[in-house]
Structure 1
Amino acid sequence: MKRCAWADKDPQMRTYHDEEWGVPERDSRALWEKLMLDGFQAGLAWITILRKRDAFRVAFANFDPVKVAAFTEQDVERLLQDAGIVRSRAKIEATIGGARAYLAMQAAGEDFSNFVWGMAGGEVIRTEGPIPVKSELSERMSVALKKRGFKFVGPVIVYAWLEATGVVNDHAPDCFRRDAC
């Protein structure tokens, strides 16, 4: 069975590729969680975040934006001591701020999923040829997310997130998941 080359090196990455990566996600909370995790990936390999994902979910109240938005400086200090996650003050504070930005969008009547998919034209974008590290869409979405208060959402991080959430289908042409996604 052929899969994307990056997914064949590690069993956990293979499972992630085969079951999650590139599957179109339309749930607002799940999209937000994945964006926050991609922010933690900045400067690191995705496998690092994937291996710590369960600990991240425990540490960040299962990525419930209402709970995370209420985190205090005491919570930041607690998270900085949690060896199960990436202990970066900037990334932890960005996640708390991201929860507040997500809730502010909701309060303004802007559904996160509709925002994401609306910017993408409502349909999965299938790429052809070499896979870029960013795109015109990821650049526009990065700007829009930053205007709403999100951090660690540069165009490269956003592009990786769009791939992971299936907004962009970058499965290799001969990958068994390409047509399924």
Structure 2
Amino acid sequence: MSTDVRLGADGRARCAWVGDDPEYARYHDEEWGVPLHGDRALFEKMSLEGFQAGLSWITILRKRPRFREVFAGFEPEAVATFDDDDIERLMTDAGIIRNRAKIQATISNARLLLDLAPGEFDAFMWSFAPAAHRRPATLADVPATTPASDALSKALRKRGFRSVGPTTMYALMQSAGMVDDHVGGCWRTHR
């Protein structure tokens, strides 16, 4: 077996980045690379990917229940109403990533979503999914950015969205199933 996949305790070969963490394995098996649709769901994904920048994704996964609680389930209509008092409340909550700029970006992004028709954000995000994507043979073949993630980032920024850099957007594209970067030998490549 290559070093790009790792055999789990359950006998399944997974992308090696999963390691031995059961929550990571569950996320890899059930969420990562599975097509995700819906304005709210994609807003949550975009927000959490923005909070993840500079951190390990497992940190976000472990804090995701609290993020959902304090950000009103990532309902854009609710988050858009957050004010300075909410920002201060969030800055004292050890259950999330306490980064003022990322909190403010999430609120600002929610307000921008309210300017869109229902389903428009989903359609916009998915319009950047490449028509064809070559599965990486190894972890070394997985890029940090692609022309599609660069274009998505640029288009979002043009609309005023924040915390949406090209690397963050490629991570979103991977996790939301816009691209499938499960490496060769991973059991998910056979689903």
TM-score class, shorter? over 0.9
- Percent identity for Structure 1 against Structure 2: 50
Show the counterpart of 2:121: 112
Equivalent residue for 1:151? 162
Match of 1:10 in 2: 21
Distance 2:105 2:69 in 1: 17
In structure 1, the partner of 2:113 is 102
Deviation of the 1:2 alpha carbon: 1.0
Q: TM-score, normalised by structure 1?
A: 0.92
Q: Deviations over 1:118-171 (max 9, x none)?
A: 2225x5734344110000000000001111111111100100110000001000
The answer to whether the Cα contact below 8 Å between 2:135 and 2:183 also exists between their aligned partners in 1 is no
Is the CA contact (8 Å cut-off) linking 1:138 and 1:155 kept in structure 2? yes
Partners of 1:36 and 1:70 lie apart in 2 by 16
Tell me the matched-pair count.
Answer: 177
Structure 2 vs 1, CA of residues 164 and 13 (structure 1 numbering), >3 Å: closer, same or farther? Answer: same
CA RMSD in angstroms comes to 1.5
Q: Does 1:58 align with 2:69?
A: yes
The Cα of 1:101 is off from its aligned counterpart by 1.5
- Describe the superposition over 1:89-123 as per-residue Cα deviations: whole angstroms up to 9, x where unpaired: 000000001101122233xx7711111112225x5
Structure 1 stretches of 4+ moved >4 Å = none
TM-aligned CA deviation for residue 9 of structure 1: 2.7
Mapping 1:71-86, distance limit 5 Å: 71-86=82-97
Three-state SS of the structure 2 residue aligned to 1:104 is coil
CA contact (8 A) 2:153 2:169 kept: yes
**Does the 8 A contact of 1:146 with 1:153 survive in 2?**
yes
SS, match of residue 178 in structure 1: helix
| Match in the other structure for 1:125 | 133
- TM-score w.r.t. structure 2 length? 0.88
Secondary structure at the residue paired with 1:38? Answer: helix
1:40-96 CA distances to partner (integer Å, 9 max, x unpaired)? Answer: 001111111110000000010000000000101010011001110000100000000
Question: Quick one: which of 99, 102, 111 aligns to 1:91?
Answer: 102
